[in-house]
Amino acid sequence: FVEECDQIIVAIGQRLDIKKVFGNLDIHLSPNGFVKVNPLTGQTNILWIFSGGDASAGPASVVTAVGEGEKAAAGIDFLFTGEDHAFWREDQAVQTEYDPDADPVPYPREKIPVISVDRRISNFDEVEQPWLESAAIRQCSRCLRCDYGKTPVRKEVILHA
């Protein structure tokens, strides 16, 4: 089948041709030959150049590359504004009600719905589909207390003088 598109982004975890991308710019490289960046912002030694993903970390997953892009976006914003607008990086207090003495709820793990193989071969739809709201709520009620029913054992610590 043919899928029309305006742009294709190749994300297959390959090594970058540094000279082709940066030309004669004096971009600093890490010992393993990748673009050296600030690990929090993705900024290189050249003020206005940011990097991430395969170029700075080496071949990895798309998820890693997206995370590196988020770092670079926050770094670019900080460069232009001088302010940290990455509010999603701040720890947030979560209000929960939890009774550690309550027995766990024995719900089985919900199966993730998937589209049929016949549908998969003719499109780019996601294979795994979201749960219905009722299934998601049930999943949130499952026991994730790995300590339930276990007795802590005190370890003896041996100190050498």
d(CA 98, CA 108): 20
Start-to-end CA span in the chain (Å): 74
CA-to-CA distance for 36 and 14, rounded, in angstroms? 17
Q: What is the pLDDT of residue 99?
A: 72
Name the CATH code of domain 18-89 (choices 3.50.50.60, 3.30.260.10, 3.20.20.150, 3.20.20.140): 3.50.50.60
Residues with Cβ < 8 Å from 159, sequence gap 6 or more?
Answer: none
The residues of the chain scoring below 70 in pLDDT are 8-14, 94-96, 98, 143-161
The enclosing H or E element of 109 equals: none
Distance CA 70, CA 53 (A): 10
Per-residue pLDDT at 49: 92
Cα 64 to Cα 55: distance, rounded to the nearest angstrom: 12
User: What residue ranges do the domains of the chain occupy?
Assistant: 18-89, 93-146
pLDDT tens figures, 24-58: 999 999 998 899 999 888 999 999 999 988 888 88
pTM equals: 0.50
